[in-house]
Structure 1
């Protein structure tokens, strides 16, 4: 029984290695298909910029420009009808059209955007970015395409209590981590406690559940949320703002002079025709009206189904790869060769001593500087490497637990070291550690939720989209929680089934 399981896992790993390139490729294709605009018309100026700086030439050569954005900030960018829409997306389309290239959109958390830009994952970032002096040290900025103040969202019942930022003395203000509103609230609302969160949708939920007393947002975003949710209102924060703190710009990689020049030309055209006010904001508004027309969770079943699909895919591949890696590491740690033992121990200690989230970010952004690894594949690699370290210790403990007399008896029967380990020790070890191993596999399913930070469309990622799309917080969370329970409970039952079969076989032999 144990031998069959081991052989099955080995075959599964080989299948995974063959299918993985196809899986990552199809995921990229699907992402590009769903998040890309139609092919832009040819630009009247097709000449390629010459000289040392060739950022624009490279984009024209590959025929596409990759936009990084965090689609939870209406009316700038948000999800509607299964795609990223909003004022910033319309601006990106205009830039791509003027270049004569296709627009490809990559979705990720706001605090990952500039890192993605610096590591070459995206060509530009348009996501309500303000040109602060600190950011200017690592990226370049275009001209301003829009100016807006900073407002504060409050619950409707408290609209008479909170007038502006001075009313929040001793209270809690929420703002998106890494954003200008967060920094402004920290500096100017000195007597208020400022709480940062990654997603704007989470901040709105925190406001409605009284976890925070107000949420600092750009004026258009605050007004958009208030317009679509009668339980909250937008108030002018009356912050003291400089020119850079009211300007929204396009962020570009440092030193991309030719690309910035081209982007500025598009922005000049947008401003001369007043396209933001006349067209782009109205387009965003029309999508937001659609969003509030049907907020039933049944309407979003495809989002949850996609999340389940990606979660199962990442978990399945990571379980198999992590199990095989764990066996290899366990043998390294038990090896008599000092170098192998040292390498195995160093790997396990390092991986177990660093957070999985940091490992995922390193694989995606860190290794991405050398090799352009897709988000899905990066998530699978990081989770597999992390799982292998924990599985290693479980397996090593199981092998050590086998009585030495078992090995001695096998050797006395003429079995060599390899056969003794494969036919005697390992089968017993697997049976002994099966519950612990199963617990690791179940935990892995839940841990894969972290891959959403780099834009993998797992259940947590889809949860955020549904929250931002429907302005509803608790129900999407509850549905996601139930779906995770169904997955983990099913896996637990399957593992328990095999555990019973193994125990019955042992009892029969005895």
Structure 2
């Protein structure tokens, strides 16, 4: 028969083992993204795996800061609310660090600089040569994007919003709008991958701004984890390798 004292000691030992195992368990963060914004995040057409510049950056940061990533796919305009309510621990989806967003969430250190570009059909190039020619035009954008913010500032423009950039490009191709506004690098990647001979980009960059990883307001622990990991991949050359993989050259 085991005495009460021995049972008590056994219970403590078991509790100690359990706590140690819990303490050693690798942290997992729920990271939100909207995978239709190539080359930042999109689904591999063969495997349906989420891939892209942002995905590689976050996975590299996680490796350096020793946490696991649980990817959560959401509509773009639903990601910030999910971070704010705590459904997500962070988010990476080419989020520009603008004043409106900074009021609601925190950001990591900037990991990319992006400007907005104007994609048009070549049959309209005589009429649309820059942003000053967009007045009164029909403009396609992705819901919640900086491109949508830019379009809404255009005088008398009719702004048509879509859930994904792919849908916006289709609308432009079918003459459902006169121009599509999105990140320059997104336009460049689209042209390189689709070889769409009907499209061209206007040689003007609008509102260049920094891009960062979205973090819940005031959560210093997650901010430190992400920023420390980011600094490591910048210093050890991983960032440059990832950049060169998805864009023309590292910087």
TM over 0.5: yes
Shift of 1:272: 3.8
Name the counterpart of 1:248: 211
Corresponding position of 2:60: 94
- Indicate the residue corresponding to 1:195 in structure 2: 160
Which of 1 and 2 has greater Rg? 1
Please report how far the alpha carbon of residue 138 of structure 1 lies from its aligned counterpart in structure 2 after TM superposition.
1.9
- 1:334-345 map, 5 Å: none
**Aligned-CA RMSD value:** 2.4
Corresponding residue number in structure 2 for 1:280? 242
| Paired residue total | 223
Q: How does 1:119-158 map to 2 (within 5 A)?
A: 119-158=85-124
Give me the TM-score of the superposition, normalised by structure 1: 0.41
Mark the CA change 1:59 to 1:167 in structure 2 (over 3 Å): closer, same or farther: farther
TM-superposed deviation, 1:72? 0.5
* Cα 1:108–1:124 shift into 2, 3 Å: same
In the other structure, the counterpart of 2:8 is none
**How many angstroms does 1:159 deviate by?**
3.2
Q: What is the DSSP-based 3-state SS (H/G/I as helix, E as strand, rest coil) of the residue aligned with 2:202?
A: strand
Cα 1:274–1:167 change in 2 (3 A) is farther
Distance 1:134-1:154 versus aligned 2 partners, 3 A rule: same
2:64–2:232 contact (8 Å) kept in structure 1:
no
1:165 counterpart (131, 147, 163) = 131
By how many angstroms is 1:270 displaced?
3.5
Identify, as 1 or 2, the structure richer in helix: 1
CA pair 221-64 structure 1, distance change in 2 beyond 3 A: same
Change (3 A) 1:172 1:274: farther
- Say whether residues 1:69 and 2:27 are aligned partners: no
Deviations 1:383-421 (A, max 9, x none): xxxxxxxxxxxxxxxxxxxxxxxxxxxxxxxxxxxxxxx
> In the alignment, what sits opposite 1:233?
200
Q: Distance in 2 between matches of 1:121 and 1:284?
A: 29
1:363-442 equivalent positions in 2, closer than 5 A: none
Deviations 1:104-136 (A, max 9, x none): 211111001111112222211100001122212
Instruction: Return 5+ residue gaps in structure 1 as ranges.
Output: 1-57, 286-510
Higher relative strand content:
2
1:71, distance to aligned residue in structure 2 (A): 0.4
Matched-pair contact (CA < 8 Å) for 1:60–1:100: no
Q: CA deviation at 1:268?
A: 2.3
Native 8 Å contact 2:111 2:210 kept in 1: yes
Whole-angstrom distance in 2 between the partners of 1:212 and 1:280 = 34
Q: Which has the higher contact order (CA 8 A, sep 6+)?
A: 2
The alignment's TM-score, normalised by the length of structure 2, stands at 0.80
